[in-house]
Amino acid sequence: MTKNKQRITLFTIAGIWVLMGLLLFVATDAYAQTATTRNNSDIYSQISLFSEVLVKLKDAYVTDLSDEELIKAAIVGMLGSTDPHTNYFTPDEFTDFTTSTKGSFGGLGIQIDKKGDYITVVSPIEGTPAFRMGISAGDRILKVDGASVVGSSTDEAIRRMRGDVGTEVRITIGRPGVADPLEFTIIREVIQIKSIPYFFKLDNGVGYIRISQFNENTASELRTALGTLESQNIRGLIIDLRWNPGGLLDQAVDTVNEFIGAGKLVVETRGRRENRPLYTRYNTPQRNYPIIALVNEASASASEIFAGSLQDWDKGLVMGKTTFGKGSVQQLLRLGNGGGIKVTTSYYYIKSGRCIHKMSNDKLLKGQELTEAEIAEENERNHEHVYQTVNGRTVYGGGGINPDWVVDADLLTNLGVELRRNNVFFDFAVDYLVDHGHDIPLNFQVSNALYNEFLGYARSKNISFSPADADSAATFIRNSIRSELIGKVHGDLEAYKVSISGDVQLQAAIDFFNRFRTLQEMFDYAARNQAPPTVGE
């Protein structure tokens, strides 16, 4: 490109920026009426400065620079000066992001992960094309439509395998114990991303529902789960929101709706442009059984609205650890190039008046360091705010949802962390089933011989540990071996039931149901015996 053409391109870009600024002022009458001449001059002078830097950089830099990459970097830098939740998406990233919130896509139905150089099947999703074709956990995906994916990222492999519903994709698989690669020609179908992957009745008669995210299907999936469990005459319900990062705001409101009925305020978004209260809309069955919502430090956004709303309306006892504190609202805006921007526009305030957002999280997520004193000071300010539920219970506000009953989670030992990080349980189960067949009953228990065989396998994978290390992690190791083997034979649900059987927080919730008959008894006990949140908790 000649220098004249470069200048034409750059001035065109600069002109677009000026036009965008002009349109912004014209489109926003209220802002235009109050903006001073100095403010108008400021934005034009800053755009002019940007254009000047762009022109001089392109003209003087030692190598040719891409207009597209420079503008993208400028956009990313501009949004990066705000908060960590205001982001730019390329067209491909925008498509991936919107797909994750819609809850369905055209695909095969497999959960995958990268293990070494290989894209490996973690689990086929029951009822999907991959499941029906016999693709199994542990299979390595070697090629997609004849093109190698060895060494590719999981995102790249996913992009190749997804496509329009009804189209074909050819997958070449390497299977442990099978000498030659296997080829599968699969017709893509609509794959539903389940926001409620598990629900079942526990042995003590209490229902259990795991909500992993809030997508377009969450409210309808919740109604199905509740209908099934209530037909089994459950005497209470545990709703597990741990590690739930949130999702769609309207789905959080509609799920709360299932427990508090129509016409009730759930949350208000308050921002610079407008304040918007959100109310429940539907008449729902009376649910008078006790409910416990499990939360932890990774419960965020919509999951915090859900848990905090059950707390505010006295419909559920919140148990676990104080939630993450992601209480900002983002709006997704499509751009002309097919990409988009996600912009923070307001903050969440739930029924009691509590703001969920923890401001220090924004700094931490952007890589900024905070001292312990600064974090303690923010926690102290947050916990100074006392609020009331609809029935007059005291709750504490700011920086996440504080549980009614605090329960710490079990921490993995260093050996446990290493075994998980290196996928040793998964790999061992795959190899074991190749050698021993798939005859694993649901009541399968890990014998001492199998336990010792696993320890030898772990050492062969260069995992170093002492006998004392193994002893301290023995319960976790046995439970994990059993979960992996049962899951690969009987499916994810049975594996999940095994994996949570030693869950300390879940067992605490089960214990509450064994000790107390009503939710009010739970509230009273928690109020008498649980101290208010302390600074730094």
Q: Which residues are catalytic?
A: 301, 312, 326
Cα three-residue angle 190-196-201, rounded to 5 degrees: 130
Residue 248 vs residues 13, 197, 219, 284, 402: alpha-carbon distances, Å = 35, 17, 11, 21, 22
User: Rounded distance, CA 347 to CA 161, Å?
Assistant: 38
Q: Please choose, from the candidates 335, 330, 332, 333, the residue with its C-alpha nearest in 3D space to the C-alpha of residue 345.
A: 330
Give the three-class secondary structure for 331.
strand
Backbone angles phi, psi at 323, to 5 degrees: -75, 175
How many CB atoms sit inside 10 A of residue 338's CB?
12
Q: Please choose, from the candidates 340, 346, 295, the residue with its C-alpha nearest in 3D space to the C-alpha of residue 316.
A: 295
**115 and 423 in contact (C-beta within 8 Å)?**
yes
The long-range contacts involving 526-532, CB below 8 angstroms and separated by at least 24 positions, are: 526/317, 526/404, 526/405, 527/393, 527/394, 527/404, 530/404, 530/405, 530/406, 532/383, 532/394, 532/396
**512 and 319 in contact (C-beta within 8 Å)?**
yes
User: Rounded distance, CA 357 to CA 341, Å?
Assistant: 21
Backbone angles phi, psi at 188, to 5 degrees: -65, 140
Length of the chain: 537
Q: Spell out a b/e string for 410-431, using b for 16 or more CB atoms within 10 Å of the CB, else e.
A: eeebebbebbeeebbbbbbbbe
User: Rounded distance, CA 346 to CA 280, Å?
Assistant: 20
User: Rounded distance, CA 158 to CA 105, Å?
Assistant: 11
Backbone angles phi, psi at 306, to 5 degrees: -65, -50
| Token pair for 13 | 């870009």
AA identity, residue 438? H
How many CB atoms sit inside 10 A of residue 271's CB?
14
Q: Spell out a b/e string for 30-69, using b for 16 or more CB atoms within 10 Å of the CB, else e.
A: eeeeeeeeeeeeebeeebeeebeebbeebeeeeeeeeeee
User: Rounded distance, CA 178 to CA 184, Å?
Assistant: 15
Q: Which residues contact 435 (CB under 8 A, 6 or more apart)?
A: none
User: Rounded distance, CA 247 to CA 302, Å?
Assistant: 6
| Token pair for 271 | 């921002």
**266 and 256 in contact (C-beta within 8 Å)?**
yes
